[in-house]
Amino acid sequence: MPVPIICLDEDLCHFAERYRECLSKPQYQYFVIVLLGLMLCEGRRTLSGVVRQVAERSSLAGLSRFLAQTPWDAQAMGEQWMKHFREEMQPLVGHRCPLAPQLYRQQAVCETEEVPFESLIELMEARIRSFEPVVGSVTHVLLDSWYCAKCLWRAARERDFQITTGIKSNRWLRVDAPTDPRGWRWQRLSDYAGQLEASDYVELSWPRGEGKVYVHVVTTRVRKLYRCQVVIVRHSLDAPLSQTRSWASSDLEADAQTLLSHIAAR
């Protein structure tokens, strides 16, 4: 049965009210319809499904225009949310602080809308450089292997942030090589992992209580990155090497268990 907007519970009303100044009166009505509809919709969350949940005079076309064409400022909405979030989190220094969502648009969409295109890497670099940490906290950037780029590591280092990213097996590590005139050489991560013996791993507990894992840590340099600790994790020493997962962390002082905690926090 459709629910009238007047029946919003107190918590949802307080949440919606934070954004009233960012929206016109019609926009605010559609904003509340979307919130309430998403919470009530039990099937597929389509626009028509959202509209059916709310006993408010609105049209599917109007809701579509609100989401796609109405010139409300998504950035201002995000900033308003972050302002409230920081006020709530300030007394809780040491806790994790999630960021507000940011819209990514494909290059073809940007060309159609005649707006500048920003890649995922560029968006992430801008986010790292503009992030405002909670006072007294330590910021640690946790990313998957898609974001294992030097520009992101550089941005984190310049702000004295720690950074841990996934790393693909085709990256190159600097390893000792006594027969090389330089005393070292580059070796592909997959080849390095393939030559490790069982004794090169230590058995540790996964931080979230999901059993034991086998971990190898080496402090080295990754080509096109910086000096870091490379963490190689296997759930079983008998499992195929293709199931091995690896990360690179700028936390050079951390032991293997602490590095696992960084990885699991993501």
Q: What's the pLDDT tens digit per position in 152-174? A: 999 999 999 999 999 999 999 99
Who wins on pLDDT, 5 or 118? 118
Decide: 103 and 130 in contact? Cβ < 8 Å: no
User: What is the per-residue pLDDT for 70?
Assistant: 66
Most confident range, picked from 28-42, 73-87, 94-108, 119-133: 119-133
187 SS3 class: strand
Decide: 167 and 144 in contact? Cβ < 8 Å: no
Task: Compute the C-alpha angle 104/171/206, nearest 5°.
Answer: 80
Which has the closest alpha carbon to 89: 131, 134, 137, 132?
Answer: 134
Quote the CA–CA distance of 201 and 4 in Å, as a whole number.
60
Quote the CA–CA distance of 243 and 87 in Å, as a whole number.
42
Grade residue 244 by pLDDT with cuts at 50, 70 and 90. very high
Quote the CA–CA distance of 5 and 68 in Å, as a whole number.
22
Query: pTM of the full predicted structure?
Result: 0.64
Grade residue 2 by pLDDT with cuts at 50, 70 and 90. very low
- Whole-number average pLDDT of the chain: 82
Q: How far is CA 61 from CA 45, 57, 65, 211, 265, in A?
A: 16, 12, 6, 51, 42
User: What is the per-residue pLDDT for 56?
Assistant: 63
| CB within 8 Å of 16: residues ≥ 6 apart | 8, 28, 31, 32, 35
Within 10 A of 75 (CB to CB), how many other CB atoms are there?
11
Q: What is the DSSP letter of 99?
A: P
Alpha-helical runs (H) found in 55-119: 60-68, 74-89, 107-113
- Cα-Cα-Cα-Cα dihedral sign, residues 254, 86, 22, 66: positive
Within 10 A of 250 (CB to CB), how many other CB atoms are there?
21
% of residues, the chain, pLDDT over 90:
43
Mode of pairing for the β-strands spanning 212-221 and 162-166: unpaired
Quote the CA–CA distance of 214 and 236 in Å, as a whole number.
7
